[in-house]
Amino acid sequence: MTGRIHSTESFGTVDGPGIRFVVFFQGCPLRCKYCHNPDTWDFAGGKETTAEELMKEYDSYKEFLKTGGITATGGEPLAQPEFLAELFALAKSKGVHTCLDTSAGVYDPAHHEKIDEVLKYTDLVMLDIKHIDNDCHRELTGKGNRNILAFAEHIRDLGIPVWIRHVVVPGITDKYEELFALGEYLSTLSNLKALDVLPYHDMAKPKYAELELDYPLGDTPPLSKEDAVKARNTIMDGIRSGLRKQK
């Protein structure tokens, strides 16, 4: 079996615990306005490769990856579930920690058998929740968030640890009420192990220009680290509020 891969990174430090071998899958169903990898959108792009070839590349770096493992990101890895399951199964057979970085935009609660096969071999999920409001999520990404939240609850029920990632964009995802509501929702995820609140940046502008694409957020200013900390504190307040309500 082959999969379509955009690229790999040999020493990833922000894609899961430890130093990791990162595989960027080609193709994504979302069109997030702040996406910094628009070159991964096209499902026909990238290059074909096999799980064996990827693990051979991993093995060439494995002495440096002992505290990490392999992370599948993208693009959207779950858009190629059979290939991803084969890759993760091979990694687990070698004792390698597996991490899935996903937006879960392809998850369908009524038809999740292929994705469940991936999850059998997944040690950690890093889940991007773009916006807690369904309509605002659709405006930001082109799709609503109901299936994405269903995926969060599915991996909770399976007991798979999750790290939540949330990008804070000025004027779009920085409203107090919505950040607090996101926190209250996260309080229901008993498998939550970490929360990464990421400040929006516009460093992808040159890539959009190179691809002859309009940059959707125009002159939206980057978010300061201080405002990112404030946003994280608001989400944490929401988590604490949600936990109190559950008692």
Model pTM? 0.96
126-155: b (≥16 Cβ within 10 Å) or e: bbbbbbbbeebbeebbebbbebbbebbebb
Q: Which residues fall within 8 angstroms of residue 227, CB to CB, at 6 or more apart? A: 168, 170, 174, 199
pLDDT for the residue numbered 247: 83
pLDDT for the residue numbered 113: 96
49, 30 Cβ separation under 8 angstroms = no
Rg, C-alpha atoms of the chain: 18
Q: Is the pLDDT of residue 66 over 90?
A: no
4, 43 Cβ separation under 8 angstroms = yes
State the Cα–Cα distance between residues 103 and 127, nearest whole angstrom.
Answer: 6
Q: Are strands 192-199 and 2-12 parallel, antiparallel or unpaired?
A: unpaired
CATH of the domain at 111: 3.20.20.70
84, 51 Cβ separation under 8 angstroms = no
- E-strand ranges in the chain read 2-12, 20-25, 47-50, 69-73, 98-102, 124-128, 162-168, 192-199
Instruction: Work out the pLDDT band at 64, boundaries 50, 70, 90.
Output: confident
Q: Are strands 20-25 and 2-12 parallel, antiparallel or unpaired?
A: antiparallel
Q: Is 41 exposed, middle or buried (0-12, 13-18, 19+ CB in 10 A)?
A: buried
Overall number of domains in the chain: 1
Q: Is the pLDDT of residue 77 over 90?
A: yes
Phi-psi region of 170 (alpha: psi -120 to 50; beta: other; left: phi over 0): beta
Instruction: Give the model confidence (pLDDT) of 92-142 as tens digits.
Output: 999 999 999 999 999 999 999 999 999 999 999 999 999 999 999 999 999
Of the candidates 191, 6, 17, 2, which has an alpha carbon nearest to the alpha carbon of residue 96?
A: 17
Through-space distance between the first and last CA atoms of the chain, rounded to whole angstroms: 49
Mean pLDDT, to the nearest integer, of 132-161?
97
Instruction: Give the model confidence (pLDDT) of 198-247 as tens digits.
Output: 999 999 999 999 999 999 999 999 999 999 999 999 999 999 999 999 98
Instruction: Work out the pLDDT band at 65, boundaries 50, 70, 90.
Output: confident
51, 67 Cβ separation under 8 angstroms = no
Q: Which two tokens stand for residue 205?
A: 């502008």
The residue range of the domain holding 168 is 2-246
The CA-atom distances, in angstroms, between 95 and each of 64, 193, 203, 240 are: 15, 22, 36, 36
Instruction: Give the model confidence (pLDDT) of 163-194 as tens digits.
Output: 999 999 999 999 999 999 999 999 999 999 99
Q: Is the pLDDT of residue 44 over 90?
A: yes
